[in-house]
Amino acid sequence: MPKRRDIVAIVLIVLPWTLLITVWHQSTITPLLATRKGTDDRRDGRSNSRNTFAFKESCSLQNRDIVEVVRTEYVYSRPPPWSDVLPTIHVITPTYSRPVQKAELTRLANTLLHVPNLHWILVEDSQRRTTLVSHLLQETGLNYTHLNVETPRNYKVRGDTRDPRIPRGTIQRNLALRWLRETFSPNSSQSGVVYFADDDNTYSLELFEEMRSTKKVSVWPVAFVGGLRYESPKVNTLGKVYGWKTVFDPHRPFAIDMAGFAVNIRLILSKPQAYFKLRGVKGGYQESSLLKELVTLSDLEPKAANCTKVLVWHTRTEKPVLVNEGKKGFTDSNVEI
């Protein structure tokens, strides 16, 4: 019967091509995805064994715990190519000159290089833009804006101390907000999120993806602040923030750290008077000084699984002990650190 034969023929033609296409698809496009699948399987396997064998890891895994992730063919482009679809994350980082500055900015840049559609606004606390920061920014290849503004020094006190009444980084953050307002008009269809990232904190990559969907202001827990393991907003069963789980003054309007919230850029642009208060701000109230101009408690969007996961850590770097430098400086000051 010719009809059946033709059907068989068509099947025989289509089947190997689909097989070939799936094989090609797997081998050329992202072996990373394949490895992620592989690692997921392994993770499930391990979690199962953990449930059944109490806390003991099986000894057979001891020497075989190699995840041979095949990444030889994966070309990592940094930063990731710009997407027309994703909202931009504008990260505002105030920074100031000190021995660990280059190290901090280096590792922060290494983190930010993984995040697509990221715009880094680095504001130096200095009279003019330093070559250290300029070179660093150029070499990273990130999409950046380099600004600078000097915190007024307290001339009454001897030495080069800045005015202690102004919380650190305030003027720099305000300058960045002003830059955003001057650069983007409120009517433009810009979609984006503004995040204040200090240069010594630690950020997981998941955090940036959580904040991308911010409509007004989103919040999440932050580790190592307020003398606690973590501070977090209190979220009720309806998914609304109704309070703050902190010990240090939980009755602040917004008892949250600078690293614990992100604002939609349209909100920033639509309220051009909202800035961080410069003077007369009590300790811990700086974030509230901005947020109370922008949003109310009920408008807050909890992220990080209803504020149950910690995705950002308020780490602080020790001040290095430079005793052996002596008065004149032992090392060559031309070498940049």
**217-219 sheet: strands from edge to edge:** 143-148, 118-124, 88-95, 192-196, 261-264, 217-219, 300-302
Return the number of the residue (212 or 314) whose C-beta is nearest another protein. 314
The pattern of x and - marking residues 237 through 256 that bind another protein according to CB under 8 A reads --------x-xx--------
Angstrom distance (rounded) from CA 213 to CA 299? 14
Count of residues interacting with another protein (CB under 8 A): 82
Binding to another protein (CB under 8 A) within 275-314 occurs at 308-310, 313-314
Q: Any contact of residue 229 with another protein (CB under 8 A)?
A: yes
Binding to another protein (CB under 8 A) within 167-226 occurs at 202-205, 221, 223-224, 226
From 88-96, 191-199, 233-241, 315-323, span contacting another protein (CB under 8 A): 315-323
Q: How far does the chain reach from its first CA to its final CA, in angstroms?
A: 83
Return the number of the residue (153 or 316) whose C-beta is nearest another protein. 316
Which residue in 37, 82, 161, 325 binds another protein (CB under 8 A)? Answer: 325
Going by the DSSP 8-state scheme, the letter that residue 323 receives in this structure is: G
Cα distances (angstroms) measured from residue 124 to each of 10, 120, 148: 68, 13, 4
Binding to another protein (CB under 8 A) within 60-119 occurs at 62-63, 65-69, 71-72, 76, 78, 99-100, 102-104, 106-107, 110-111, 113-114
Relative to beta strand 192-196, strand 261-264 is: antiparallel
Binding to another protein (CB under 8 A) within 134-153 occurs at none
Among 154, 141, 145, which residue's Cα sits nearest to residue 123? 145
Residue 231 annotated among the catalytic residues of the structure: no
Q: Any contact of residue 330 with another protein (CB under 8 A)?
A: yes
Angstrom distance (rounded) from CA 105 to CA 90? 16
Angstrom distance (rounded) from CA 121 to CA 143? 9
The least distance separating another protein from the CB of residue 258, rounded to whole angstroms, comes to: 16
Q: Any contact of residue 155 with another protein (CB under 8 A)?
A: no
Active site residues: 287
